Amino acid sequence: MECEAEKRRLQNQWELAAERERASKELRGREIKRLSEAWLGNANTYLEMPPRQFEDAVAELFRRLGYKVKQTPFTRDGGKDAILRKGGKKYLLECKRYGPAQGVGRRDLQILFAAMHAEGAAGGFCVTTGSFTSTAKEYAAAVNITLYDWSRLAFLVNEAYPESADFSEASVMCRECGLVTTVPVDVLPASAQCRNGHAVTSNIVIADFRILAEAEVPYCETCGAPMRLVKWHGREFWGCTSYPKCRSTKPLRSRAQDSLVLRR
C-alpha cells in the first residue's frame, strides 16, 4: 500500500511539474510578443537597428496603419523595399537606415520615383533615421513622395503603436509554486523572489524580443519551446531557447519566401 501511495504521489508531482512547464512556456511566448511590441513602439529603438531589421520594422509600421505590405528581397530590390496597398491604390516604400547627420539625396528619390513609374504606383514613402537634403525635399514634393526623417519617424511610430509600454520587466512563472512574478529583463537571465520566497530566474533575455523574425516565431519540433534567431560565424538560423538542454535548429527562410514580419 505504501508503495502504491508513493507511486501516486510521484505521478501527481510529475503531472504538476509538466503542467507548470507548459504554462510557463505559454506565458513566455505571450511575454516575448508583448515585449517585442513594446520595444518596437519606442522610437529610439529604430536608431539601434541594422539596415535589414530597420526595413522590416518600418514595413510593420505601415502594416499596423492599415496597409497591405509585400516586402521585396533585401538585395536587388529594384529601388523599393516594399509594395504597399491601401484604398485600392499602390504605393512604394524605401527605407534608409542612416546616421543622424547623414542625408538622403535627390538621387535616392529619383531611383524610387523610377520604380513608382514602373509599378504604376500612386505615390511613395521614404523613411530614414537621418535627414533629407533640400534638393531631395523639393523633388519629393513634385513627384508625390512622402518623406519621414528621424523626427517624423517618431510620430509614425507613435501612430502605429499608440500605447507606450515598458519592456524592462517580464512576467515569469515560479517553477516551485506556480506563482507569476515580475523579473527584470537584461542581457543575461535575471532573478527575483516570488511571494512565497522562492528564487525565480527569468527565462527571457533582451535578445529574445529584440529581433524581427522573417515569419512567425517557430516552435522547436523536438521539445516544443519557442525558438530564437541565432547569429553564428556569419550565419543566421533558428535555435531552440532550451539550449544547451535542447540543441535543435531550423533554417531561417529568406524574405523572398516570407513577406510577413510580425503577427499581432
Cβ atoms of residues 68 and 74 within 8 Å: no
Q: Looking at residues 39-48, what average pLDDT do you find? A: 91
221 versus 49: the higher-pLDDT residue is: 49
- pLDDT per position as a tens digit, 188-199: 888 999 999 999
- Rounded Cα–Cα distance for residues 163 and 158 (Å): 8
Q: Is the pTM of this model over 0.75?
A: no
Q: pLDDT tens digits for 175-190? A: 889 999 999 998 888 8
Fold of 45-160: Trna Endonuclease; Chain: A, domain 1 (3.40.1350)
Helices and strands in the chain, H and E counts:
7, 14
Any idea which of 39-48, 172-181, 221-230 has the lowest mean pLDDT? Answer: 221-230
> What pairing do the DSSP bridges indicate for beta strands 123-128 and 145-148?
parallel
Buried b (16+ CB within 10 A) or exposed e, 226-239: bbbbbeeeeeeebb
Q: For the chain, give the longest Cα–Cα distance.
A: 89
* pLDDT tens-digit readout, 134-158: 999 999 999 999 999 999 999 999 9
The answer to whether 85 and 68 have CB atoms below 8 angstroms apart is yes
The full set of domain ranges for the chain reads 45-160, 214-264
Output the CA–CA distances (angstroms, integers) from residue 6 to 11, 59, 67, in the order listed: 8, 57, 60
H or E, element range at 40: helix 2-40
